[in-house]
Structure 1
Amino acid sequence: MSNRETKDDYSLERVPKTAKQNFWQVTVVRLGGFACVSQLMLGASLGYGMTFNKALLSVLLGSVILQIVGVALGIIAAREGLSTSLLSKWSGFGNLGSTIVGLIIAIGCIGWFGVQNSVCAEGMFNATKIFNAQIWAIITGLSIVAIVVYGFKMLSYTANIALPLFLLAVGIATVKMLSNTNISTLLTSTQPGPSMSLSVGTTMVAGGFIVGAVMTPDICRFLSNSKQVFWMILISTFVGELSMCMIAVLMAHVVKSSDIMTIMYSLSGWLGVAIVIFSTVKINDINLYSSSLGLTTVLSTIFKKKFNRSTITVVIGIFGTLLSAIGIMNYFVAYLTFLGVFVPPIAGIMVVDYFILKRDRTVLDEARQNGNLPDSCESWNPITIISWLCAFMVGYFVKQGISSLNSIITAVVTYYVLMKIYAAFKGQTNAKFAQTDKYIG
């Protein structure tokens, strides 16, 4: 693989068959995205406001949503070899819509980058008592940037080292916690903080990784078939999501706090700091990687020229580092809730367009035979924007049910119905909008 391909990592083209990766290599990267401090943070928030059983139900419901979204988009990605933002050009969003998708992914992931980096910086400061959290945020953030510049292979190498160390540290901390606690009492105890509803909890679980679920193609494009996608998503979702969240729920009940750094340090001292550091390394490289892919598509579409992913990685990595230094952690819960209703419609629309309406399947299939991209795509799809906004409004304002699920179902139904109505009005079998060949890919 050339140096250019290594650093650009097929950001504006299909991943060729020769660049596909080993199943376990991709699974470890994905599992690293789940088995991390952000899931411990999420679990601690749930545990502080819920009983164990109620928190377990929230995690299961939220995980099912993530599983469905991840598998559906992952299958598309394994077949087409395209990142989420690039794939969306031929999955309902068109040229303009894909720019919005890429921007949302970039903002969502860089926000997560800032959150994770803030936690790591706090851990480093508490452990060393030198500098301050802001300086540590700059040091740790720029270290991640240096890793991500080199693409997916470096993500894999990092995950192979950091994931086992993280799981070992969490395991030791869990054993230490349970050895001094009556487990049956812990499982039946009331929540230590103000009560949280099942709907809010489930939305937080889905929102906590919904950007990760929607950016599943960024990772799954390196897999070879749908069977690999299914097992990779199943293993990573339930092993990573369920285990990490429920361990953190128990920790929150023991320490009676939702502050993950307080929990980590009170339970395991330096071991807790190690957990934070190993987690940040393996999850923040994924956040920055997907953010760079999304923004590469955005800028290339807007300016009609190819931008290098590694250069963009450096720029947004510095920006995310600054976010963590100024205190993005203060908005963590509100941030998750917003993502939980704004991002799911993207997946719903893409899945309906690709699997049910199949509007661009023919051109994608033809181009795939030659390892290329189609010669054109829709300029934009107004029905997509309308459906997306409707889904967001329902998810945000309707308080009954689960907000993430409400928004994705609304997007699926609204998009399908409006596309069929428009097609009937135009006398078309499948609705089509104006095409453009002025896109970068």
Structure 2
Amino acid sequence: MSTHPAAPKPNEDYPLSEVPMGDRKSFWSLAIILLGFTFFTATMFAGGQIGTAFPFWPDLVLVIFAGNLLLGLYVAVLSHIGFKTGLNTALLSRFGFGRIGARLSDLLLGFTQIAWYGWGTATIAVVLLRMAGADPDQSPLMLNGLIVFFGLAFCLTAYVGYRGLELLSIVAVPAILVLLALSIVLALRDAGGIAGLASGEPTTSLGIGAAIAIVFGTFVSGGTQATNWTRFAAKSSHAVGGAFLAFFIGNGLMVATGAIGALVYQQPDVVDVLVLQGLTLFGIAMLFLNLWTTQDNTIYNFSVVGCAAFATPRRRLVTVIGALIGTGLALMRIDLHLVPFLLALGTFIPPIGGVIMADFFVRHRGRYPALATAAIPAFNWPGLAAYAIGCVAGLVSPGVPPVNAILAAFLAYWLLDRLIGTKIDAVRPERVDR
């Protein structure tokens, strides 16, 4: 039986088409990958930033709960869309923004994933040098050598594809859970229990809205691209449940661990906290697994976006190219600019998800035509205008900017589509507007 030359090989994970039902995965297969994705050291660092700014009860607990609940709900809705359509985020964006208009979301999502890859690669190199007693700023050759090594090594499991991500997560997720639990137990012991933790006083200042935005922003970019995995779900409950487990509970645990450590030890840097707890060697192992499980998912996200942007099914090649770009950003020390980066993510990424949700649920009533037979216009102006409105709302409105951005983009799309939108219908294959 002959194969169409444009058809993706199985190990390329369908970057340009729907995932067929025959290749869908179980709940636990999906959940373990998503948990590995959300077990990210940057989330602990973000927790450290808010942990020194609020008393434990009720402020800090409220910030952690609210930020992760909002994130979990947002990702769960997108995850259902991923299951229903079998499409990744980049292809979903084609419906919401148009064939050419979607280049905007490709650029934003692709850059954020590469930036995270650069952050993680630089972070592990810096941590290893610090643990070895060397000053990273005074050892540029050693630092750059480690960055190049990890920049190439971290992409190996993503190069394999979904199966590589799954195998790594099966090993790493339980190990990370054990160390997180140990760190929290030690922090509670050193604080004098819950009562001692509750008596801790903040040493920095941060608004509630900004703090929730940081919690939400740690994974809003990755969460917007959760469809890259939930398109493999066999049931909607698998997609929604796996996403909520990872982005509400898993991400919440990471934020809480970083925040509690910062509150107890007055150290926003999670590495310093682990050293103070006597977990240096275990901490290195945890950070390595922690970063690896997220780095491979991050570069996998980039490969999916890159394939859609350049209309190529060669996901493995795009993976390597992305790793090289991310390594370059690591060499430029993108790790020194985490909090501003998180706040930017919380403003400019959420409206993409708002547009995708509005396009799927409102414009198309929960059902897209097959991608191969859909007449998608070059620009979907309601989607592009709604995205811009969402960004403005995130920048200027009070409260929690990411949530405002999502709601504004969704409502703006709904209103604009009523005025100027035209539903994308299925057409005969020979009439597809490419």
Describe the superposition over 1:383-425 as per-residue Cα deviations: whole angstroms up to 9, x where unpaired: 2211111211121123x111111111111111111111225xx
Cα pair 1:82 1:217 within 8 Å, conserved:
yes
Mark the runs of 5 or more structure 1 residues left unpaired by the alignment: 301-305, 424-429
Residue in structure 2 matching 1:190, options 193, 201, 209: 201
Q: Structure 1: how far apart are the matches of 2:24 and 2:365?
A: 27
* Alignment-derived partner of residue 217 in structure 2: 207
Aligned to 2:372: 373
8 Å CA contact 1:46, 1:196 repeated in 2: yes
Q: Check 1:243–1:375 CA distance in 2 against 1; reply closer, same or farther (3 A cut).
A: closer
Q: 2:138 aligns to what?
A: none
Question: Relative to structure 1, is the Cα distance of residues 55 and 379 closer, same or farther in structure 2, using a 3 angstrom cutoff?
Answer: same
User: Residue 409 of structure 2 corresponds to which residue in structure 1?
Assistant: 411
The one-letter code sitting in structure 2 at the alignment partner of 1:378 is P
Alignment of 1:335 onto 2:334: no
Aligned alpha-carbon RMSD (Å): 2.2
Q: CA deviation at 1:12?
A: 0.7
Partner amino acid for 1:258? P
- State the match for 1:303 in structure 2: none
8 Å CA contact 2:157–2:165 kept in 1: the answer is: yes
Tell me how far 1:94 sits from its aligned partner: 1.4
- Superposed displacement of residue 73, structure 1: 1.3
- Secondary structure of 2:9's counterpart equals helix
Aligned AA (1:172): L
CA distance in 2, matches of 1:373, 1:155: 28
Quick check: 1:437 aligned with 2:429?
A: no
Whole-angstrom CA distance in 2 between matches of 1:272 and 1:87 = 39
Q: How far apart in 2 are the matches of 1:180 and 1:253?
A: 11
Alignment match, 2:137: none
* Structure 2: distance between partners of 1:51 and 1:320: 37
Find 1:354's aligned residue among 351, 360, 380. Answer: 360
Alignment of 1:7-406 (within 5 A): 7-52=11-56, 53-90=58-95, 92-128=96-132, 132-183=142-193, 184-192=195-203, 194-267=204-277, 268-300=279-311, 306-358=312-364, 361=367, 364=369, 367=370, 373-398=372-397, 400-406=398-404
Question: 1:289 offset after TM fit, Å?
Answer: 0.3
**Distance verdict in 2 for CA 1:168–1:432, change over 3 Å:** closer
Q: How far does the alpha carbon of each residue in 1:2-54 deviate from its partner, in whole angstroms, 9 at most, with x for none?
A: 99624421111111112111210110010112222122111111102222232
The answer (yes or no) to whether the contact 1:7–1:149 under 8 Å persists in 2 is no
Instruction: Map Cα deviations across residues 205-241 of structure 1 (whole Å, 9 max, x no partner).
Output: 1111101111011010010121112211221123212
In 1, the alpha carbon distance for the partners of 2:180 and 2:129 equals 20
Aligned partners of 1:374 and 1:120: how far apart in 2? Answer: 45
Q: Could you list the runs of 5+ residues in structure 2 that have no partner in the other structure? A: 135-140
Match for residue 427 of structure 1? none
Which amino acid counterpart does residue 60 of structure 2 have in structure 1? Answer: A
Structure 2 letter corresponding to 1:277: F
Q: Report the CA distance between 1:167 and its aligned residue.
A: 1.6
Q: After superposition, what is the alpha-carbon deviation per residue over 1:310-338, rounded to whole angstroms, capped at 9, x for unaligned? A: 11110110110121122101111011101
Do the aligned residues in 2 keep the contact of 1:173 with 1:272 (CA within 8 Å)? no
Post-superposition offset of 1:375: 4.2
Would the alpha carbon gap of residues 66 and 360 (structure 1) be closer, same or farther in structure 2, given more than 3 Å must change? closer
Q: Secondary structure at the match of 1:126?
A: helix
1:374 CA drift (Å): 2.4
Count of residue pairs brought into register by the alignment? 416
SS of residue in 2 equivalent to 1:222:
coil
Q: Given that residues 89 and 227 in structure 2 are in contact (C-alpha distance below 8 angstroms), is that contact kept between their aligned partners in structure 1?
A: yes
What is the CA–CA distance in structure 2 between the aligned matches of 1:146 and 1:204, rounded to whole Å?
A: 30
Deviation at 1:296, TM superposition (A): 1.2
* Aligned-partner residue type, residue 291 of structure 2: T
Provide the rounded CA distance (Å) in 1 between the counterparts of 2:36 and 2:424. 40
Please give the per-residue CA displacement for 1:77-97, whole angstroms capped at 9, x wherever unaligned.
11211110012222x211012
* Amino acid across the alignment from 1:142: L
* 2:75–2:244 contact (8 Å) kept in structure 1: no
Distance 2:73 2:188 in 1: 33
Aligned residue type for 1:62: G
State the distance in 1 between where 2:98 and 2:74 align: 20
Q: Which residue does 1:422 correspond to in 2?
A: 420
Residues in 1 aligned to 2:70 and 2:101: alpha-carbon distance in whole angstroms: 23
Question: Would the aligned equivalents of 2:121 and 2:150 in 1 still touch at CA under 8 Å?
Answer: yes
TM-score norm. by structure 1 comes to 0.89
- Tell me how far 1:132 sits from its aligned partner: 2.7
